[in-house]
C-alpha cells in the first residue's frame, strides 16, 4: 500500500480578484456617474446674442443668429471703405475748372468715416455739369465731336459713381447690422442648424435671448454660482403663455423665483408663432450673469 | 460626481477608505465564491465515489480527481495515519486489542486535525467581510457627521440658514453614509451566505469523520 497522492489546490490569486473587483467598481462608477449618458443629458443650446428688435421666423435659413458680420470682417471692411471713397477724388478734379471748391472737399473727406464721405461725390455731379455747360459758350469754336465725347465721358463717370455709391451703401448697411439679405460681408442672419429659407432666428433662440434680457437678480441674493434650472414653457399659436413648469429646479428659491418672474413677463409674445410652442429652456446662472 | 468633488478633505479620506473596503470585500467575495462552491461540488462527488467504491486503497488512488473536496483531505490524512500504524504493527507481534484502540485514536486525531485545517481554510478572509459589514456604515457616518459639521460652520459664517444653503452641504456629507452602506450591504450578505455554506461543509466533514472511524474500527476488529 502506498500513501495517497493529493494534487495541490489551484486556489485563485487574490491579486487578480482584486483587479476584477477594481474593474467592477469602475464599471459601476461609470454607469452611475453619468459619463456615458452625460453627452445627451447636458446637451444645451448655446447662448446666442440676438437682436430682439427683429422678430423670429418659423423656418430660419442657415447663418449666424447675431446677424452681423464677424468682428474680423468689420476690421477688414474699415480700411477698404476709405479707399473706395478716395477713388472718385482724382476724377472730379477736371483741369478746365480749378475754381470749383467741391472736389477739394471730397478729396479731404476720405480720411473721415464712410457714411459722411459718400454723399460728397453725388454733390459734385450737379456742380460739374453746369460748369461744363458754362464752358461751352466760353469756348469760341468747339467742335461738335469733342462736345459729344465730353458728354459721354461725363455720363460714364456719373454711372460709375452711381454704381460705387450703391456698393458703398450696401457695405454701410452691412456694417450697421441692417443687412438681412445675406449678401453682406459677414454671415447671413439665420441659425447654424437652419435649413429653411426665411431670414431671421428661430423662435426658441429669440425667446431665450428675450428671457436673458429681462432676467434680473442681485448677486447678493444667490449663495452659489453653479445654479441651473430647466423650465418647460408652452405658448399657444397666438403667442399666449399657456403653461410653464420646472423640470429641474435649481434648489435655490431666490433664483427660481427670478426665473418665474422672467417667464411671466412674456405672458404674450410680441409675435404670433403660428403653432403651439413648447420647449425646455435651460437657465444657467453663469450664462445669465454674463 | 460633483458631490464627491465638492466634499471636504476628511469626507474624501473617508470615501477613499470605504472604497478600499469595498474593493477588498468584493475581491474576497469572488475568492470565497470559487473556494466554497468548489469545495461543495467536489465534496459531494467524493462522498458519492467513496460510498460506491468501498475499497480504501482504490479510493486513495483517485483522490486527485477531487482537489477541492475537504472530505477527500480528511480521507487522505486518516488513511495515511492508518497505513502508518499498520506498517508498525506488521513488523512486530500480532496486535493486542488495546493497541488496536490506540490506532483508532490516532486516526481520529488525524481526522480532527485535518477538519480544523480545512475549516480554517474555508473560513479564511471571512472575518474581513464581517468587519466591513459592521464598520463601513459607521465610517460613512463619521464622514457624514464631519461634513455636516463643516456645513454648519459655513452656515454660521454666512449667517444664512435657508434650505438652499444647508441642503448642498448635507447632501455632500450624506454621500459618505451612502457609500458606507454600499460597501457594507454586499459584505454582510456574502458573509452570512458563506458562513452558512461553511457550516454545511463542517457538518459534512464531521459526519465523514464518524463514518470513516467506524470503517477503521470495523477493519481493526476484523484483523
Domain ranges of chain B: 2-222
d(CA A58, CA A275): 9
In the predicted model, is pLDDT for residue B188 greater than 60? yes
For B18, residues 6+ apart whose C-beta sits below 8 A from its C-beta are B136, B139, B140, B143, B176, B179, B180, B182, B183
CATH architecture of the domain formed by A203-289 = 2-Layer Sandwich (3.30)
Q: Which residues of A touch B16 (CB under 8 A)?
A: none
A167-176, B113-122, B126-135: which has the minimum mean pLDDT?
A: A167-176
Place A35 in a pLDDT band, splitting at 50, 70 and 90: low
Q: Which of A155-169, B58-72, B131-145 has the highest mean pLDDT?
A: B131-145
Determine the Cα–Cα distance for residues A90 and A108; give it in Å rounded to an integer.
Answer: 12
Average pLDDT over residues B87-116: 71
Question: CB of A276 within 8 A of CB of A233?
Answer: no
The widest CA-to-CA distance across chain B, in whole angstroms, is 98
Helices (H) and strands (E) in chain A, counts: 10, 3
d(CA A210, CA A214): 6
Q: Of A125, A136, A114, nearest to A92 (Cα)? A: A125
For residue A33, what is the nearest residue in chain B, using CA coordinates?
A: B1
Q: How far is CA B39 from the centre of its chain?
A: 12
Mean pLDDT of B16-27: 94
Those residues whose C-beta lies under 8 Å from the C-beta of residue B56, and which sit 6 or more positions away, are B79, B82, B215
B219 — pLDDT class (breaks 50, 70, 90): confident
Model-wide pTM > 0.90: no
Contacts of B26 in chain A (CB under 8 A): 21, 24-25
ipTM surpassing 0.85: no
Average pLDDT over residues A88-108: 43
B79 and A4: CB-CB below 8 Å? yes
Residue ranges matching CATH 3.30.1150.10 in chain A: 203-289
Decide which of B34 and A120 is more confident: B34
Confidence of residue B4 (pLDDT cuts 50, 70, 90): low
Q: What is the mean pLDDT of residues A261-277?
A: 81
Sheet with A228-235: list strands edge to edge. A241-248, A228-235, A277-284
* Closest residue in A to B2 (Cα–Cα): A33
Average pLDDT on B146-160 reads 78
**Can you give the pLDDT at residue B20?**
94
Confidence of residue B87 (pLDDT cuts 50, 70, 90): low
Q: Is B219 on the interface with A (CB under 8 A)?
A: no
Q: How many CB pairs under 8 A join A and B?
A: 74
A12 CB neighbours in chain B (<8 A) are 30-31, 34-35
CA distance linking residue B77 with residue B80, whole number of Å = 5
pLDDT of A188 strictly over 90: no
- What integer best gives the mean pLDDT of chain B? 85
pLDDT greater than 60 at residue A192: yes
Burial class of residue B191 in the structure, from the number of CB atoms within 10 Å of its CB (0-12 exposed, 13-18 middle, 19+ buried): buried
How confident is the model over A220-267, as pLDDT tens digits? 776 677 788 888 888 888 888 888 888 888 877 888 888 888 888 878
Give the residue from B31, B53, B69, B74 with the most A CB atoms within 10 Å of its CB, the best one to mutate: B31
Comparing CA positions, the residue from B133, B131, B112 lying closest to residue B184 is B133
Cell reading at A66? 447675431
Candidate ranges A36-45, A98-107, B102-111; pick with highest mean pLDDT: B102-111
**Residues of chain A contacting residue B164, judged by C-beta atoms under 8 Å apart:** 223-224, 251-254
Region of poorest pLDDT, from A30-39, B143-152, B196-205: A30-39
Rg (Cα) of chain A, in Å, rounded?
35
Q: Which residues of A touch B63 (CB under 8 A)?
A: 4-6
3-class DSSP state for residue A278?
strand
Residue A199 has pLDDT above 80, yes or no: no
Residues in chain A: 290
Q: Is A25 an interface residue toward B (CB < 8 Å)?
A: yes
**A24 interaction partners in chain B (CB closer than 8 Å):** 26
By the 8 A CB rule, do B32 and B194 touch? yes
Distance from CA of A59 to the nearest CA of B (A): 39
Distance to chain B for A225, nearest Cα, Å: 12
Sign of CA dihedral A255, A256, A261, A267: positive
**Which pairs count as long-range contacts for A111-120, CB under 8 Å and 24+ apart, including other chains?**
A111/A82, A113/A81, A114/A81, A114/A82, A114/A85, A114/A168, A114/A171, A114/A172, A115/A172, A117/A82, A117/A85, A118/A85, A118/A165, A118/A168, A118/A169, A118/A172, A120/A85
Amino acid at each position: 500500500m502506498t500513501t495517497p497522492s493529493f494534487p495541490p489546490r489551484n486556489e485563485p490569486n487574490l491579486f487578480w480578484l482584486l483587479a476584477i473587483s477594481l474593474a467592477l467598481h469602475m464599471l459601476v462608477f461609470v454607469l452611475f456617474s453619468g459619463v456615458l449618458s452625460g453627452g445627451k443629458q447636458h446637451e444645451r443650446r448655446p447662448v446666442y446674442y440676438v437682436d430682439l428688435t427683429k422678430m423670429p421666423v418659423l423656418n430660419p435659413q442657415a447663418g449666424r443668429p447675431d446677424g452681423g458680420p464677424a468682428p474680423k470682417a468689420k476690421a477688414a471692411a474699415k480700411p477698404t471703405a476709405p479707399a473706395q471713397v478716395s477713388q472718385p477724388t482724382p476724377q472730379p478734379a477736371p483741369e478746365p475748372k480749378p475754381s470749383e471748391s467741391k472736389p477739394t472737399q471730397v478729396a479731404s473727406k476720405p480720411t473721415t468715416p464712410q457714411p459722411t464721405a459718400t454723399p460728397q461725390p453725388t454733390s459734385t455731379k450737379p456742380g460739374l455739369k453746369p460748369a461744363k455747360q458754362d464752358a461751352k459758350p466760353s469756348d469760341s469754336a468747339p467742335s461738335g465731336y469733342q462736345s459729344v465725347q465730353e458728354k459721354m465721358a461725363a455720363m460714364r463717370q456719373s454711372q460709375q459713381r452711381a454704381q460705387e455709391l450703391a456698393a458703398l451703401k450696401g457695405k454701410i448697411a452691412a456694417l450697421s447690422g441692417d443687412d438681412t439679405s445675406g449678401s453682406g460681408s459677414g454671415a447671413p442672419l439665420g441659425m447654424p442648424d437652419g435649413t429653411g429659407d426665411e431670414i431671421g432666428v428661430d423662435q426658441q433662440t429669440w425667446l431665450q435671448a428675450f428671457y436673458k434680457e429681462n432676467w434680473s437678480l442681485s448677486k447678493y441674493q444667490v449663495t452659489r454660482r453653479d445654479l441651473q434650472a430647466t423650465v418647460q414653457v408652452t405658448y399657444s399659436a397666438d403667442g399666449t403663455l399657456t403653461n410653464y413648469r420646472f423640470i429641474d429646479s435649481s434648489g435655490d428659491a431666490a433664483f427660481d423665483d427670478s426665473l418665474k418672474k422672467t417667464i411671466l413677463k412674456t405672458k404674450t409674445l410680441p409675435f404670433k408663432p403660428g403653432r403651439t410652442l413648447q420647449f425646455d429652456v435651460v437657465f444657467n446662472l453663469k450664462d445669465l450673469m454674463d | 460626481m460633483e458631490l464627491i468633488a465638492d466634499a471636504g478633505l476628511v469626507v474624501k479620506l473617508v470615501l477613499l477608505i470605504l472604497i478600499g473596503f469595498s474593493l477588498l470585500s468584493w475581491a474576497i467575495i469572488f475568492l470565497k465564491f470559487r473556494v466554497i462552491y468548489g469545495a461543495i461540488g467536489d465534496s459531494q462527488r467524493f462522498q458519492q465515489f467513496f460510498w460506491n467504491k468501498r475499497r480504501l486503497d482504490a479510493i486513495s488512488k483517485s483522490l486527485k480527481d477531487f482537489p477541492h473536496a475537504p472530505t477527500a483531505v480528511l480521507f487522505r490524512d486518516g488513511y495515511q495515519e492508518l497505513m502508518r500504524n499498520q506498517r508498525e504493527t506488521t513488523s512486530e507481534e500480532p496486535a493486542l486489542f488495546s493497541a488496536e484502540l490506540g490506532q483508532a485514536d490516532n486516526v481520529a486525531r488525524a481526522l480532527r486535525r485535518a477538519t480544523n485545517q480545512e475549516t480554517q481554510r474555508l473560513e479564511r478572509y471571512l472575518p474581513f467581510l464581517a468587519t466591513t459589514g459592521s464598520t463601513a456604515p459607521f465610517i460613512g457616518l463619521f464622514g457624514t457627521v464631519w461634513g455636516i459639521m463643516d456645513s454648519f460652520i459655513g452656515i454660521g459664517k454666512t449667517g444664512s440658514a435657508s434650505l438652499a444653503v444647508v441642503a448642498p452641504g448635507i447632501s455632500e456629507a450624506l454621500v459618505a453614509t451612502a457609500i458606507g452602506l454600499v460597501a457594507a450591504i454586499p459584505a454582510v450578505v456574502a458573509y452570512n451566505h458563506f458562513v452558512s455554506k461553511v457550516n454545511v461543509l463542517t457538518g459534512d466533514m464531521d459526519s465523514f469523520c464518524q463514518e470513516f472511524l467506524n470503517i477503521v474500527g470495523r477493519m481493526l476488529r476484523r484483523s
